[in-house]
Structure 1
Amino acid sequence: MHKRISGFNMAPLFLRTIVGIGFIIHGYAKISRGTAGFEKLLVQVGVPFAHINAIVVPYVELIGGLAVLTGLFVNIVAIPLIITMLVATYTVQFHYGFSSVNTIGLTPAGPKFGPPGYEINLLYIGCLISLIFTGSGILSVDSWRSKWYSRVKNKK
């Protein structure tokens, strides 16, 4: 059975691209700077097992982002990514409010921004939930893996 490429089955590609790249960049930033600074942040906001989380979370973001970008096991990798977003929301961003752009003043050089709220976290969570329900789409490793499995199964 051959599926035609349409807007409906291409939509997950656009979600996967932005979400995957976003997680890759955030995970890589934590790893490339060393996880000690991230660990200090986790200790300061009271995240349990800060040392372990400072090591695990950046790799969850990096590897999970790569999996989402390529469309590999998206239904599975979305869960730990959603959990990281929920934890970040409640431990770091929640008390800054909803808006991801908090303008706190204006200087001669331009606007001054405060810490971001949880708006972006909710967008990531919404995109990941959408991918869980809709699947990875036609241009994904999951789709190619499913087609290969169907061909192998039908040959038996």
Structure 2
Amino acid sequence: MAEKTASEETAAPEKPRADIPTVEAATAPYWDAATHGKLLIAKCGECDKVHHYPRPFCPFCWSEDVTAVEASGRGTLYTYSTVYVNDLHPFKSRLPYVAALVELEEGPRVMTNIEGCEPDALEVGMAVEVAFRSLTDELDATIFRPVAATDR
């Protein structure tokens, strides 16, 4: 058996990156779907309502009969804020960025970022569609972008 060197024994365990979300068992299917270009939302088998963010129970009827279903990826910009100052990593390198709430066609509202346009071009109520931004080789973030007038 090989002995550890002094530097290996005193080395602190590697910290997770602050800019990468923690993937847990309950959310893994959603992250995996995003990496494959799909947006999942949750649907209750008891009351038939959909919701988002992923959780093991329905927030409407408390049933645990919840499954992931693919969303259309289309929605409307419900509200947004352009962030010009944020000294935290990794946000500082993205300034300015748009933090937003998008109402999906299916009903749930999703916290997200809007990318692919200047913040001045955004309007509440405008059509948006899902897109994905790579965070690592195995993990993509769900974002939204405006739907071009020719795409409607």
- TM-score range normalised by the length of the shorter chain: under 0.3
After TM superposition, the score normalised by the length of structure 1 is 0.22
Which protein is richer in strand relative to its size? 2
Q: TM-score, normalised by structure 2?
A: 0.23
Q: Which has the higher helix share?
A: 1
